């Protein structure tokens, strides 16, 4: 009974943030201790895992490869046949490079662990405060916004993915402009798309359209980072607003290398 | 821990065992992924402690293991400690109530207890505002955690006996109060 009460007290006190810095410090130390071990285990096991995965999924990989080759061919053909309009070109570039990063300095990082808890969507990266990574910094890679640093330790950090249930991102549906509808995209868990809720009107909405961070004043992310693509939508709230399902632009299954944007929101 | 078990040596051995399991979970445990979920071997220690040395030992081992686990996960600090503490206590109570425990009790208790712990963890997390914890594929998590912990239960039980300085019984016998399996 005493231990249950102690546990409840710890949970409650930590939630109310009075001693949160203490637990955060303890977590930081624990992570610093474990990080080298985790990296070592990862270095040993990753090639073995890749070998087995390659053997088991050889057929699927071959199919995927063929599919990607076909897509590249189609894109090249389209590029030759007809000029892309500005938005299409921007979309393509966004998925091939990271043009949205602009002048923001970045820190390259490698993923050392995926989903340290079964109940969160996150990755651990091998860069921390010593490398210039800080709480709240956006993380991009694999074609778009990946998430945000929620815990920065000395030599490692935890990145909450955009699909995590606690993730909320201010977005514009389409290229950031006055006419583009804005919304808040919420994570729905690892295997679900994001949900942009209470979008006012369906003007300009189409399947496949890119969704960007809005970059409004006080936003947690700089504007113009591709978040995902519109997958579907449905009307809510008496037919005046929409809930839009958004598939992440970044391939969240391939997060080996990431870039942390050294950008912090203005208070 | 049971009064007859607490010696400085046993405390150190249990601490080392808990540290080893937590490190194992934080490294190898994260590399294994089945149906989108990874094993959570930390739950097995309080269950075995409860079965081997009774409710109090189960609760203490659960509390310490949970607190150490909480250092490595982004979920609310203290939540694992709370759930593992209850889990160890419940396993200890089970040990005192079962009159004729068979050899399968340890893996079965590990599987069932871990599954319940994973569900309780998610529900309590949601109560604390982490509603995403109920949006995961709970069936996969419960299944993976339950099965893997059933597999590691016997070696974990053996290790805990060593840590607590309890010799393994030569043959199966009725559980004495406090559990002596």
Which of B63 and A252 is assigned the larger pLDDT?
A: B63
Give the pLDDT of residue A9.
80
Cβ–Cβ gap B63/A14 under 8 Å: no
Percentage above 70 pLDDT, chain A = 76
A236 within 8 A of A82, measured Cβ to Cβ: no
How far apart are alpha carbons A192 and A162 in whole angstroms?
Answer: 11
How distant is the Cα of A235 from the closest Cα of chain B, in angstroms? 23
Cβ–Cβ gap B73/A117 under 8 Å: yes
Give the pLDDT of residue A86.
59
The two three-digit tokens of residue B161, written as one number: 């006996």
Angle (CA) A101 A96 A51, round 5°: 110
Q: Integer distance in angstroms from the first to the last C-alpha of chain B?
A: 15
Would you say residue A13 has pLDDT above 80? no
Q: Which B positions 50-89 lie with beta carbon below 8 A of chain A?
A: 59-60, 62-63, 66-68, 71-79, 81-82, 85-86
Cβ–Cβ gap B36/A190 under 8 Å: yes
- Kindly state the helix (H) or strand (E) to which residue B164 belongs, with its residue range: helix B138-164
Burial of B156 (0-12, 13-18, 19+ CB in 10 A): buried
Give residues with Cβ within 8 angstroms of A72, minimum separation 6: none
- Dmax of chain A from CA atoms? 74
Is this prediction's pTM over 0.90? no
What average pLDDT does the segment A211-224 reach?
Answer: 83
**Is ipTM strictly over 0.95?**
no
- Residue linked to tokens 């546990």: A7
Per-residue pLDDT of chain B (181 residues; tens, 9 = 90+): 444 557 888 899 999 999 999 888 888 888 888 888 889 999 999 999 999 888 999 999 999 999 999 888 888 888 999 999 999 999 999 888 877 667 788 999 999 999 999 999 999 988 888 887 887 888 899 999 999 999 999 999 999 888 888 766 554 444 444 445 5
> Which residues on chain B are in Cβ contact (under 8 Å) with A156?
none
**Cα separation values, A151 from A112, A117, A156, A158, B19, Å:** 14, 14, 9, 5, 22
């Amino acid at each position: 009974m005493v231990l249950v009460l102690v546990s409840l007290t710890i949970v409650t006190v930590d939630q109310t943030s009075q001693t949160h810095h203490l637990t955060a410090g303890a977590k930081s130390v624990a992570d610093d201790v474990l990080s080298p071990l985790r990296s070592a285990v990862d270095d040993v096991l990753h090639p073995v895992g890749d070998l087995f995965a390659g053997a088991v999924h050889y057929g699927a990989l071959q199919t995927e490869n063929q599919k990607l080759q076909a897509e590249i061919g189609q894109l090249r053909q389209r590029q030759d046949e007809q000029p892309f309009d500005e938005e299409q070109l921007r979309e393509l570039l966004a998925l091939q490079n990271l043009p949205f990063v602009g002048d923001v300095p970045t820190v390259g990082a490698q993923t050392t662990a995926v989903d340290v808890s079964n109940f969160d969507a996150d990755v651990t990266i091998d860069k921390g405060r010593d490398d210039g990574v800080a709480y709240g910094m956006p993380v991009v890679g694999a074609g778009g916004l990946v998430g945000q640093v929620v815990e920065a330790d000395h030599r490692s950090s935890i990145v909450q993915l955009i699909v995590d249930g606690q993730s909320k991102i201010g977005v514009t549906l389409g290229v950031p402009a006055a006419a583009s509808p804005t919304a808040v995209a919420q994570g729905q868990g690892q295997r679900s798309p994001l949900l942009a809720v209470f979008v006012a009107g369906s003007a300009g909405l189409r399947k496949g359209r890119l969704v960007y961070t809005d970059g409004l004043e006080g936003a947690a992310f700089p504007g113009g980072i591709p978040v995902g693509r519109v997958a579907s939508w449905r009307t809510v709230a008496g037919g005046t607003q929409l809930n839009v399902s958004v598939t992440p632009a970044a391939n969240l299954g391939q997060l080996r290398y990431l870039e942390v944007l050294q950008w912090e929101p203005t208070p | 821990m049971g009064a007859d078990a607490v010696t400085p040596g046993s405390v150190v051995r249990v601490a080392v065992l808990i540290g080893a399991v937590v490190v194992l979970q934080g490294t190898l445990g994260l590399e294994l992924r089945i149906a989108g979920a990874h094993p959570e071997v930390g739950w097995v220690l309080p269950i075995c402690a409860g079965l081997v040395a009774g409710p109090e030992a189960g609760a203490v081992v659960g509390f310490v293991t949970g607190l150490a686990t909480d250092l490595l996960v982004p979920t609310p600090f203290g939540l694992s400690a709370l759930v593992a503490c209850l889990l160890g206590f419940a396993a200890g109570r089970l040990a005192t109530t079962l009159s004729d425990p068979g050899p399968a009790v340890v893996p079965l208790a590990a599987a069932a207890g871990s599954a319940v712990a994973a569900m309780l963890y998610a529900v309590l997390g949601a109560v604390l505002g982490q509603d995403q914890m109920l949006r995961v594929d709970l069936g996969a998590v419960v299944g993976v955690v339950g099965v893997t912990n059933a597999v590691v239960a016997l070696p974990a039980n053996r290790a805990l006996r060593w840590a607590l300085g309890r010799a393994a019984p030569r043959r199966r016998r009725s559980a004495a109060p406090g559990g002596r399996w």
